Amino acid sequence: MATGVETNTLEASYSEPEANKLFRMVMKYKGSDLHLKVGRPPSMRLTGTLREMQLPPLTESDMERLMFPLLSTRQRTILEDEGGVDFAHIVTDPDGTETRFRVNLFRQRGKLSLVARRVNNTVPDFETLGLPPVLGEIASHDQGIVILAGVTGSGKSTTIASMLEYVNQRERCHIVTIEDPIEFTFVDKKCLINQREVGIDVIDWDTALKHAVRQDPDIILVGEMRDRDTFSAALHAAETGHLVFGTIHASSAPSTISRILDLFPRDMHSAMRQNLVFNLKAVIAQKLLPTAKHWAEKTGQTRIPTVEIMRTNPTVRKLIANEEDVKLAQAIRIGKDEGMQDFTMSLCSLVQAEKIERSVAFEVAPNPEALKMALKGITLAEPGIL
């Protein structure tokens, strides 16, 4: 493929925002992201690589002309007050088909820049995403908290959507999502699903969650648990009989425990550990990796998650209660018969299935030596942890 992407003949087929010409290019080439920056031509990410479109560099007036019509009055105020704003942008075809983008518009060096992630119209299933089937069991809990851990862009939201869709196809229940912005649009199947977008459907997150627990939900998606108030509210919802899904920025399943505790003062850590013992059902940590070339050609899948799963069995609960977080990684390895796995186990299976290259696996492996031994079929005996 050439460095640039041929786009200079693009024309919108009917009246719509001028910026949609650029969004449509991402759709046409099946790109994952759109990047706009003053002084550079528009770019899109194709199969993990950022490529410039064959268009002139954007000026400040170009960015303002393209972007301001996409913003509501509230979003324009947030941009001016905070220097950045998140929102969803929907491109609608004449036949009514919608493509949703998750957009972050921000200022850098005083000028506007944009990064927009294309979100699929349909919610993919576990097999399509390359996720372990045990996530279906985790999604079927009656109550508690399920946490998705990972950095931005690691696919946490997609995994949660897949888990909610699993429930939607099998159980009769009420799902309430609180999102900013909405990333996947669900179609009611066996479930009744109400999706609320902060700033459009409800004024703020706190109000949305207050309403949610009064709306007879079985499952609540609260999005990112970024501070003490957010996590406390999610915990309260779990304690009152709901299954709560949330995301957090953490590098692994075991480190998620300390990341949660960091949200609270030290004198609350003991009480928080007890709350986690009673309410935490699972932590799913993941990273997105580029697929092997032959796998991408065969399936069209250019990225695949490596997944670490920690379920709170009696051993995990005891370690959390006793502040022995350092032993959680070992408990995950021992719990493989319960569907648990660490990143080494996940990477090993991906390499053996030829879905990713060995070099990619070793580049991201937390313990390259352990991965090397696993690929040779060598399993070390685990010492007792209790």
**CATH code of 55's domain:** 3.30.450.90
- Which of these three, 60, 85, 119, is where a domain ends? 119
Q: Which residues contact 3 (CB under 8 A, 6 or more apart)?
A: 51, 52
Do residue 112 and residue 139 come from a single domain? no
Do residue 253 and residue 145 come from a single domain? yes
CB atoms within 10 A of CB 13: 8
Neighbouring-strand partners of residue 44: 34, 51
Q: Which domain holds residue 55?
A: 20-119
Strand order, beta sheet including 111-119? 49-52, 43-46, 33-37, 111-119, 98-108, 84-92
Do residue 152 and residue 241 come from a single domain? yes
- Which of these three, 99, 119, 139, is where a domain ends? 119
Do residue 114 and residue 147 come from a single domain? no
pLDDT (0 to 100) of residue 302: 87
Number of domains the chain is built from: 2
Do residue 156 and residue 242 come from a single domain? yes
Helix 368-375 to helix 343-352 angle (10° resolution) is 40
Q: Is residue 100 part of a domain?
A: yes
Task: Match 């991201």 to its residue by tokens.
Answer: 364
* pLDDT band for position 380 (cuts 50, 70, 90): low
CB atoms within 10 A of CB 304: 24
Do residue 152 and residue 210 come from a single domain? yes
Whichever domain contains 339, its CATH number is 3.40.50.300
The tokens for 214 are 């009064």
Q: Round to whole Å and give the CA distance between 145 and 129.
A: 23
Q: Is residue 346 part of a domain?
A: yes
Type and span of the H or E element at 90: strand 84-92
* pLDDT band for position 385 (cuts 50, 70, 90): low
Do residue 334 and residue 234 come from a single domain? yes
Bond preceding residue 94 cis, omega within 30 of 0: no
Tell me the backbone φ, ψ of residue 261, rounded to 5 degrees: -60, -30
Q: How does pLDDT run across 268-311, given as a tens digit for each residue?
A: 999 999 999 999 999 999 999 999 999 988 988 888 999 999 99
Q: Is residue 235 part of a domain?
A: yes
Do residue 196 and residue 222 come from a single domain? yes
What is the percentage of the chain residues whose pLDDT exceeds 70? 94
Q: Is residue 144 part of a domain?
A: yes
Q: Round to whole Å and give the CA distance between 29 and 47.
A: 10
Do residue 209 and residue 67 come from a single domain? no
Find the mean pLDDT for residues 320-329. 97
Q: Is residue 213 part of a domain?
A: yes
Q: Is residue 110 part of a domain?
A: yes
Do residue 38 and residue 54 come from a single domain? yes
Do residue 107 and residue 219 come from a single domain? no
Q: Is residue 4 part of a domain?
A: no
- Burial class, 251, CB count within 10 angstroms (exposed 0-12 / middle 13-18 / buried 19+): middle
- Of 199-203, 295-299, 319-323, the poorest mean pLDDT is in 199-203
Q: Is residue 56 part of a domain?
A: yes
- Which of these three, 101, 119, 137, is where a domain ends? 119
Question: Which residue type, as a one-letter code, is found at position 29?
Answer: Y
Do residue 363 and residue 235 come from a single domain? yes
